[in-house]
Homo-oligomer: A and B are copies of this chain.
Amino acid sequence: MYTLAELADRFGLGFTGEAGKILTGIATLAEADAGEIAFLANRKYLPQLASTRAGAVILPPALVECCPVACLIAEAPYLAFARISHLFDKSPRPAPGVHPAAVVSPDAQIHSSVAIGPNAVVEAGAVLAAGVELGAGVYVGHDSRLGAGTRVLPHAVIYHDVHLGEHCVVHAQAVLGADGFGFAPGPAGWEKICQLGGVRIGDRVEIGACTTVDRGTLGHTVIADGVIIDNLVQIGHNCRIGKNTAIAGCAGLAGSTTIGADCTLAGGVGVVGHVHICDHVHVTGMTMVTKSITEPGSYSCGTPMMSTRNWKRNAVRFSQLESIQKRLAAMESRTGQPDKG
C-alpha cells in the first residue's frame, strides 16, 4: 500500500492529483479500479485513457492533459511500470534454510542465507552464494556455482560444472549443462564425443521454462550478463551469447554459434552452427539464419501467410521460379531488353 506521492518519490516521477491517494495494486487501463495504478506506454491504447477508472496512470508528460485521473509522469512509462511492478509481486519464495526433505552434500558450500526447497539435491563441490533460492526438486550438480541472489524455480536441472552469476532467474524444467550433440561417424554408427566443457553464465540472466543450454565440448558455452531467454529455447554447445541479447520462445541455436550484444531473436528463429552474428542485430520470427551477419540491422526470411487456397497456387509457382526467370530472360532477349538475371 503506497501513496501517490510515495511512488513518485521512490521512482523519481512527477505526479498530478492528490498526494495522499492510496494505491494497492496495478492493472491494465481497461481493468484498473480506483485503488490501482495503470500505465500507458503505447499510443494504441490512448482511446482507453479517457474512460479509465484507474486511481493513477503512469504516462509520458505529453499525455498528462488527456488523463482524467491522477498521473505518475515518466519519460519512460514502460520502464516505470516495470520498476513499480516489483512492489506488488507476491510470488511465494522457498523458506530460508534447508528443507528437511532436501538432499545436500556435506561437501557443498552453502551460504547461511540460502533457501533450499523440498527434494532439492545439491552435490559435492557446489557453491551457493548469499540469498540463493532453490525451489522444490531443483538439482545442482558437482562443482556448479550459483552467485548471490540467483533463484532457481522448481525442478530445473543444473548439471556439473555450470556457473551462474548473480541475480539470475532459472525457470522450471530448464536444463543447464546437458551434453552437446556431438558424435563422430564410425564404422558401426555414431560414436559419442564426450562433452568435457562446462557452462558459464553471467549476472542478471533469465532462462525460461524447458529451455536447454548445452555444455561445451572443449571449452565452455558462454552467456553474458543481462541476457534474457524465453521458454523452450535450445542453446547448443559452445555457443557464445553477448550482453543484453534477448531470445524469444522456441528459438534454437546450433553448436558454436556466436551472437553479439544487444541482439534480439524473435520466436522460433533458428541459427545454424558455426556462424557469427554481430551486435545490434534483430532477426524476425521463424527466420533461419544460415550464414554470418556482419552488419547491424533487421533480417528475415519466409513467405507471407495467406489462405491455403491462394498459398497452394503461389507455392507451386515458387517451385517454378527458376524456369519463370528463364522464360522472362528469353522474352527480354527476343524483345531486345538486356537480361539482368
Q: Hey, which chain B residues are within 8 Å of A212, CB to CB?
A: 173, 208-210, 231-232, 249
By the criterion CB–CB under 8 Å, are A121 and B92 in contact? no
Once bound together, how far apart are the Cα atoms of A167 and B262, in whole Å? 42
By the criterion CB–CB under 8 Å, are A288 and B290 in contact? no
| Chain B CB within 8 A of A294 CB | no
Q: From residue A240, how far is it (CB to closest CB) to chain B in Å? A: 13
Interface 1/0 per residue, A323-341 and B, CB below 8 Å: 1110110111011010011
Q: Hey, which chain B residues are within 8 Å of A314, CB to CB?
A: 318-322
Known A160-B92, A204-B189, A299-B307: A232·B249 in contact at CB below 8 Å:
no
Q: Hey, which chain B residues are within 8 Å of A173, CB to CB?
A: 155, 157, 173, 175, 210, 212
| Chain B CB within 8 A of A9 CB | no
Interface 1/0 per residue, A213-252 and B, CB below 8 Å: 0100011000001101011101010000001101011101
Q: Hey, which chain B residues are within 8 Å of A230, CB to CB?
A: 181, 234
By the criterion CB–CB under 8 Å, are B325 and A304 in contact? no
Once bound together, how far apart are the Cα atoms of A289 and B334, in whole Å? 39
Once bound together, how far apart are the Cα atoms of A239 and B171, in whole Å? 19
Q: Hey, which chain B residues are within 8 Å of A306, CB to CB?
A: 299-301, 319
Q: Which of A282, A298, A324 has the most CB of B within 10 A?
A: A324
Q: Hey, which chain B residues are within 8 Å of A31, CB to CB?
A: 218-219
